[in-house]
Amino acid sequence: MKRLITLLVSTLLLAGLLTGCGETTAAPSAEGNQSSSKPAKTIKWKMVTTWPKNFPGLGTGAENLANKINTLSNNRLHVKVYGAGELVPALEIFDAVSRGTAQMGHGAAYYWKGKNPTFQFFSTVPFGLTAQEMNGWLYNGGGLELWQEAYSKHNLIPMPAGNMGVQMGGWFNKEIKGIDDLKGLKMRIPGLGGEVLNRAGGTPVNLPGGELFTAMQSGTIDATEWVGPYNDLAFGFHKVAKYYYYPGWHEPGTALEAIINKEALEALPKDLQAIVLEACKLANHEMLAEYTARNNDALQTLITKHKVQIRRFPDDVLSKLRSISDEVVKELAGKDAFSQKVFDSYSSYREKVLSWSEYSERAYLNVRADNK
């Protein structure tokens, strides 16, 4: 009798914890729980993304995150991924997750600068942190705590969920020989990089990835950046642009995000909450490894098969863009107390890591290059 009462109480408590977590359906009991009188419930979540469904690296990165949650939870929590436009438009996922239309989203913080310009620090800063350095700031330098504070008023919990490393500078149909060649240029470039281009005389345009090929083909824009060879080859930009520029001064290590509806997460049992957050960490590191492996192969295909002309931005152009970038970032920091707080944390960490990089990464890469 005591065992029966204990079992009944446990079942009722589990049912109570699952209430409000989203749609639920019966699922087979997990191994080791065969004594339960009722099957476990599957909690169903939706994940909306800013990427085309299953697009290499980005779309598949969202799928990878969902699959990890599904597997680690033994399907007690099942996340279904919706590509850009399937459930909500690409650039409306922030609001959709905030109001609970979906429980999760996958995108990048600079897309939401209209909500708060400070969000851009949590994606990428021109001439700022690389992917490895960004992870250091977020996980060990106080960046993630500030990011979560920034999103808290929107009923959201952000987590790093991917990074592509240093990007390429973009696709152009004319050579960039000096800073004047950027004047009047209509270019798809988001975030702080877009503001830098604006002050250099160009016109930044914010378009989702799925619209870029057509925009270049039709002449709606004159140039575009996207990510790097792995993704750019998949979109076929070599068919609509002649020159491929580097380095990606505007995005040296863009952190992607999983945004989680705060109420939905807190309604989960503690172990499922932990699974969601830890799965984000795994997906974050795995995406960077994938891009590191895939970009080189794609670059060689672009060069050898498609005869793409690779160009380096002239030093004077990069110098001017860096000067403008410093002005833009400092102005953003001065907007309010919280922006200053984020800037101080980011810039303090950057100064420290730059010092270490001189003795480690840069020193080693220089030696390796000298010994080819």
Query: Is position 106 within any domain?
Result: yes
Query: Is position 299 within any domain?
Result: no
Distance CA 118, CA 113 (A): 7
What is the pTM for the complete model shown? 0.87
Query: Is position 243 within any domain?
Result: no
Domain around 55:
2-165+254-292
Q: Helix 131-140 crosses helix 337-359 at what angle (to 10 degrees)?
A: 120
Instruction: Tell me what pLDDT residue 371 has.
Output: 76
Query: Is position 190 within any domain?
Result: no
Query: Is position 262 within any domain?
Result: yes
Q: Is residue 84 within 8 Å of residue 90, measured between CB atoms? A: yes
Which contiguous run of DSSP H or E holds residue 196? helix 191-199
Instruction: Tell me what pLDDT residue 9 has.
Output: 38
Q: Which DSSP symbol is given to 100?
A: T
Q: Is residue 286 within 8 Å of residue 136, measured between CB atoms? A: no
Instruction: Tell me what pLDDT residue 28 has.
Output: 46
Distance CA 297, CA 128 (A): 26
Q: What is the pLDDT along the chain (372 residues), one digit of tens a residue?
A: 444 334 433 433 344 433 344 555 555 444 444 444 455 789 999 999 999 999 999 999 999 999 999 999 999 999 999 999 999 999 999 999 999 999 999 999 999 999 999 999 999 999 999 999 999 999 999 999 999 999 999 999 999 999 999 999 999 999 999 999 999 999 999 999 999 999 999 999 999 999 999 999 999 999 999 999 999 999 999 999 999 999 999 999 999 999 999 999 999 999 999 999 999 999 999 999 999 999 999 999 999 999 999 999 999 999 999 999 999 999 999 999 999 999 999 999 999 999 999 999 999 999 998 876
Q: Is residue 133 within 8 Å of residue 239, measured between CB atoms? A: no
Query: Is position 123 within any domain?
Result: yes
Q: Is residue 45 within 8 Å of residue 82, measured between CB atoms? A: no
CATH number at residue 268: 3.40.190.170
Total number of domains constituting the chain: 1
Phi and psi at residue 56, to the nearest 5°: -50, 130
Q: Which DSSP symbol is given to 87?
A: S
Q: What is the 3-state secondary structure (H, E, C) of 23-63?
A: EEEECCCCCCCCCCCCCCEEEEEEEEECCCCCCCCCHHHHH
Query: Is position 244 within any domain?
Result: no
Query: Is position 342 within any domain?
Result: no
